[in-house]
Chain A
Amino acid sequence: NAGVTQTPKFRILKIGQSMTLQCTQDMNHNYMYWYRQDPGMGLKLIYYSVGAGITDKGEVPNGYNVSRSTTEDFPLRLELAAPSQTSVYFCASSRWGEGYTFGSGTRLTVV
């Protein structure tokens, strides 16, 4: 099993550009999450989903959008990138009440 796969691993964006961070899991987990991690900080929840077609905001959703059309995929869309969105983005999945499986992350720099 591949677990949780995130692409790309690295990306540099210019201010105002848009991009989609891809996340897919092959464990048939209902729950999926997007977190961001700033240097030396903990993880902050951006969006989460409890199943296909259902998404909700986390702690820091501004500037981001998500969709969940299938159980496997949970892409994160950045519109009009800003320097404040420079961060490491982690996607994770889980079954309810169990530990998360994280992807390897996307390191994004906005210049």
Chain B
Amino acid sequence: GQQVMQIPQYQHVQEGEDFTTYCNSSTTLSNIQWYKQRPGGHPVFLIQLVKSGEVKKQKRLTFQFGEAKKNSSLHITATQTTDVGTYFCAYGGTSYGKLTFGQGTILTVHP
């Protein structure tokens, strides 16, 4: 079956450093979504990527979908303490939109 690995599991950075999390699949993905979950909170939708090679930006966040649609990344430039949380990738099948979530990357930002 489809397997998606999200790496790294944990990342500690100093405020102002960059951060990247990766989502790697053994098979082609139809789409990929990214979510952020603050400590003690609920996941919040960030973005969806559907096209091969797609790149989208939201302020300091850059999202990429690989050319082969087997991997995706989320990059944060100049992290801030407000970026703390767990970042999940999630991928959907072709039917009914139900998502499978990656294990998540826990980001800690030291001031």
Contact = CB atoms under 8 A, between A and B. Distances in A.
Interface of A: 31, 33, 35, 40-45, 48, 50, 56, 58-59, 90, 92, 94, 96-105
Interface of B: 31, 33, 35, 41-48, 88, 92, 96-104, 106
Contacts of B104: 41-42
A42 B102 contact: yes
Q: DSSP class of B's interface residues: helix, strand, loop or mixed?
A: strand
Smallest CB-CB A-B distances: 8 pairs? A99-B45, A102-B42, A42-B101, A43-B101, A42-B103, A96-B97, A50-B96, A48-B98
A103 B101 contact: no
A33 B44 CA distance: 15
A100 B99 contact: yes
Given A42-B101, A42-B103, A43-B101, A96 B96 contact: yes
A48 B31 CA distance: 19
Contacts of A48: 96, 98
A104 B42 contact: yes
